[in-house]
Structure 1
């Protein structure tokens, strides 16, 4: 497929490199000219346990490109989703498919406005991606992609096939809302608490108080998900949290990194979205709501 990666950050560069290495026709779109120039000049070097692979890539501003593209994979921050999809609207064809693998809730609804339910795919990924510099990505072979179509006759299968050719370990889910909400629960707990306390993952693991708050957030998120007809597994999410504690102790969450860099956070698309959904359904989320308010206070400062 002719594939557009919308947002050439760490995840965009990881997936762009993987797909290009597998022989797909990939273009990365970004708004930062410095990023575009670096990618066009030097390509992407991808480091994993197997070593380092290098691939040349194409990077553009959306307004400088002509379409159509078959697949659009959106990797922007949540607050940029609508403007990002609007920027590539002129590149959509009648059969174009939109895919969101972004953190949080609400992105698929935006994509459906542009692509339609039959041509919108949503999902999650747990592949790590650390951007050491533009065009230098450190990742792992251990990761997966879980996706599902949002229309009754969607395109998740063909997207998964392309991803699997690229070694991205994609699986099509019968109800993709479950892995999406489970990742939201994971991020709502770890990202919010890390951002409020300024602690990395390993520090949270050592604190009984942090563990108690994480358990409370997971329980609240499960209750909200249940009100939406989604059977979220606290045990599975808790296992993922323990895995993060054991294997990524030095990791600084993206929300904490954004705060320290003075950038906007995605709190309203992760924990904040859970709180809002709970409010609409009559499900209280006092612990998570307090953490989100504290993140916003830190952002305002």
Structure 2
């Protein structure tokens, strides 16, 4: 199986390197200094689950330059780059490549389907702390690395079985992550989103790690409102989020390291474009579509809108 990682940052670089470590053919779409470093010095992964160096990664700046279409393309770019990625992946999808997003949002597949067709799409989600430490180097923080994937409608398929076999084999050979074929991948995506969107919104708005925010009564109440709205929107959108999901999210957040920041806060501090429209903005869009009020998220969006382009 030939796998394309569209994006070679924390997620694409980490999982792509693990697949190479297990002996699979992997290509990376990357650009700029990171791509140049990968081509010149290889791709390095630093991880408590085992360091890796991919000496000669196959790096392209455009998937059209690949000799043959890959079997699966994982979309691992920032959400604001989804449109560009979808346009470039469209010819591969037409040729039979399955397209599977590992991005954070809940409505990224609408963009991918518009260009690649819904029949080409698989779906996925991951829990991992990984980022580019310097060009050509991925730093995996901690040991968490979980990958879930499935057909969007929950059915089984030959392509899903083939991908599952590769990922399970890679996980077993390398010890680098846990792989799970999901019977309801949309629920898994919403489970993650019901934590991620409120967490990102609150920490970015207040420019603070989570510790002080969950301790102060005012910002804790704000966090609870953000979670409640996001869960309500998810249920209205058809995700079978269980009763008590709101309390589960709060319990999870209470267990996070006090110094933990969201990637949106890291991007804000670095002056980079934000995934605001795909996280907080998605709660607003879907809330309006399904008739769910989202005033707490609206406050966040109004406060952060001027920073969304960096």
Same fold by TM (over 0.5)?
yes
Change over 3 Å in CA distance of 1:93–1:276 after alignment to 2 = closer
Contact kept in structure 2, 1:47 and 1:137, CA below 8 Å: yes
Say whether residues 1:8 and 2:12 are aligned partners. Answer: no
Q: Find the counterpart in structure 2 of residue 166 from structure 1.
A: 170
Deviations 1:121-169 (A, max 9, x none): 1121112213211222222443311222025554333222222222232
Take 1:24 and 1:114, find their aligned partners in 2: how far apart are those partners?
Answer: 28
Task: Write out the 4+ residue segments of structure 1 that deviate beyond 6 Å after TM superposition.
Answer: none
Change over 3 Å in CA distance of 1:47–1:243 after alignment to 2 = farther
Q: Find the counterpart in structure 1 of residue 59 from structure 2.
A: 59
Q: Find the counterpart in structure 2 of residue 37 from structure 1.
A: 36
Take 2:79 and 2:102, find their aligned partners in 1: how far apart are those partners?
Answer: 11
Take 1:244 and 1:224, find their aligned partners in 2: how far apart are those partners?
Answer: 20
Change over 3 Å in CA distance of 1:243–1:226 after alignment to 2 = closer
Q: Find the counterpart in structure 1 of residue 174 from structure 2.
A: none
Q: Find the counterpart in structure 1 of residue 298 from structure 2.
A: 289
Q: Find the counterpart in structure 2 of residue 132 from structure 1.
A: 133
Take 1:201 and 1:236, find their aligned partners in 2: how far apart are those partners?
Answer: 19
C-alpha displacement at 1:218, in angstroms? 1.3
Change over 3 Å in CA distance of 1:272–1:137 after alignment to 2 = same
Contact kept in structure 2, 1:4 and 1:28, CA below 8 Å: yes
After superposition, where does 1:166-205 map in structure 2 within 5 Å?
166-167=170-171, 168-205=177-214
C-alpha displacement at 1:29, in angstroms? 0.3
Q: Find the counterpart in structure 2 of residue 46 from structure 1.
A: 45
Take 2:309 and 2:80, find their aligned partners in 1: how far apart are those partners?
Answer: 16
Contact kept in structure 1, 2:272 and 2:309, CA below 8 Å: no
Q: Find the counterpart in structure 2 of residue 78 from structure 1.
A: 79
Deviations 1:78-111 (A, max 9, x none): 1211211212434446331000010112211222
Take 1:45 and 1:239, find their aligned partners in 2: how far apart are those partners?
Answer: 36
Deviations 1:28-87 (A, max 9, x none): 10232x221101122222222244222222211115433311110001111211211212
C-alpha displacement at 1:185, in angstroms? 1.5
Take 1:242 and 1:21, find their aligned partners in 2: how far apart are those partners?
Answer: 36
C-alpha displacement at 1:242, in angstroms? 4.0
Q: 1:259 aligns with which of 264, 268, 286?
A: 268
RMSD, aligned α-carbons:
2.3
